[in-house]
Structure 1
Amino acid sequence: MTMLQHNYQSVCAQLADAEQRAGRPAGSVRLVAVSKTFPAADIREVYMAGQRDFGENYIQEWFSKTEELADLPDIVWHVIGQVQSNKTRIVAQRAHWVHTVDKLKTAQRLSAQRPPEMPPLQVCIEVNIAGEVNKHGVPPEEAVALACEVAKLPNLTVRGLMCVAEAAADEEELRRQFERMQALLDELQAAGVAADVLSMGMSADMPLAVACGATHVRIGSAIFGRRDYG
């Protein structure tokens, strides 16, 4: 077993422990391995250990990886970075999930550019849950309205909501933010959107996110190591 595979197995064990402690069914939380800035060879190693869902932030870098890993037919690509207007076609043609929709225009472009022979693109509305000026996402009070508009578009399926919790927050504040996300998902369901996803929780706050209802956690450094952004 390689070091990356060892890291991956350790994260899987931590996730299973978090599910158990939260009284959640085993396997109810989906692990998205965040592979941004790491080479395709690293993704292949973790894939060989059993992982299928991978998250990428940088569209051009990710596109190259889809080419290198085209022989892995059941790999599932999650776009978890901002999608600029000139990159929507690539995303619409190659992604399975987009977690970062925060503008109706972006959703409209993704819908229009999704190939008709492909299943609907699964999307989450990104919520700026802490109101941080340096983060993307819609304000919490606008999230449900945007999700309802996006849900009307063909070729997309609104699966739920995504957030990046405040990095400097203490546990009490993190819990408040995660619980607000759960409340927003409840509102979205009450509005008639069959959403079931809360994409929240990363390497540092994963157990708390699971305790607060996360269905997808996005784990990068605990699997792949620290990133060197050059």
Structure 2
Amino acid sequence: MVVDGLAARLDQLRSALPASVKLLAVSKGQPPEVIRAAVALGLRSFGESRLQEAQAKQGALGDLEPLDWHFIGRLQANKARGVLRHFGTIHSVDSLELAQRLGRIAAEEGLSPAVFLQVKLRPDPSKGGFDPETLRQQWPELAALAPLRPVGLMTLAPLGLASDGRLALFRDCAALAAELGLGELSMGMSGDWPEAVEAGSTWVRLGGALFGSRQM
């Protein structure tokens, strides 16, 4: 059972992560009882990428103290309102148009979500994100989209990129965030978090390294 060994894996990760780096437990594909076990071990921040799956889990865990839910999947425009209602942080805002839609709906709903702007720093047909130059040009508009709160940048390394290539990519993302005055960096997953941490990541998104294989 995945819960077996969870405490040991979490202890190992906590000992390896600097105090400046926050652990986002990627709970997509995990049932509510596994999240409940993680909460008992002190975790509060969980990442999901499918709205319906997350809604069901949030309902099943409604007896707990409010948890810190992060949306980490590609966000379709027609799911924007539902995601805003169920997540306090969104890691995958990949265009000005999506940000404008989120800002408008957030204002209607009386919400002030934290958002990470997803950037695409290397060619990769399977991933979206702002081109860095486009982000620089559109940044004044993005920064003014209250009540959205742009807090940082998020990036994903292309599959097959070697360790030194991942480190260079993450450092480029950190430099761009510093240029824009953004303090948070959502970089690094189970296969590349050490390079992301070395480059200055403040949030690592860990699923397999924490929970093992998915159960749903």
TM-score (ref. length: structure 1):
0.85
| Distance 1:154-1:109 versus aligned 2 partners, 3 A rule | same
Q: 1:149 to 1:72 in 2, by over 3 A?
A: farther
Structure 2 unmatched runs, 5+? none
Please give the secondary structure, in 2, of the residue aligned with 1:99: strand
Q: Alignment partner for residue 131 of structure 1, among 102, 114, 123?
A: 123
Distance 2:139 2:5 in 1: 38
- Alignment coverage as a number of residue pairs: 216
The question of whether the paired residues in 1 share the 8 Å contact of 2:2 and 2:212 is answered with: no
Q: Which residue of 1 aligns with 2:49?
A: 57
- For the pair 1:208 / 2:200, whether they are aligned, the reply is no
**Contact 1:80 / 1:100 at 8 angstroms: preserved in 2?**
yes
The equivalent of 2:132 in structure 1 is: 140
* Cα distance in 1 between the residues matched to 2:168 and 2:94: 22
In 1, the alpha carbon distance for the partners of 2:142 and 2:8 equals 36
Query: What's the CA shift for 1:88?
Result: 0.6
Greater mean alpha carbon deviation, residues 207-216 or residues 36-45? 36-45
Which residue is equivalent to 1:23?
none
2:30–2:215 contact (8 Å) kept in structure 1:
no
The answer for the alignment partner of 1:122 in structure 2 is 114
Provide the residue aligned with 1:16 in structure 2: 15
> Which residue in 1 is equivalent to 2:178?
186
| 1:45 counterpart letter in structure 2 | A
How far the C-alpha of 1:44 sits from its partner, in A, is: 1.1
Match of 1:221 among 204, 208, 213: 208
Give the distance between the partners of 1:165 and 1:148, measured in 2 at CA. Answer: 26
Pairing 1:69–2:68 present: no
Cα deviation for residue 129 of structure 1 reads 2.2
Partner of 1:161: helix, strand, or coil?
strand
- Could you tell me how far apart the structure 1 residues matched to 2:101 and 2:81 are? 8
Q: CA deviation at 1:46?
A: 0.7
| Equivalent position of 1:36 in the other structure | 28
TM-score norm. by structure 2 comes to: 0.91
Equivalent pair of 1:201/1:218 in contact (CA under 8 Å): yes
Cα separation, 1, equivalents of 2:110 and 2:6: 34
1:172 corresponding residue in structure 2 = 164
**Structure 1 runs, 4 residues or longer, greater than 4 Å off:** 115-119
Q: Which amino acid aligns with 2:188?
A: G
Moved more, 70-79 or 153-162: 70-79
8 Å contact from structure 1 (residues 5, 45) kept in 2: no
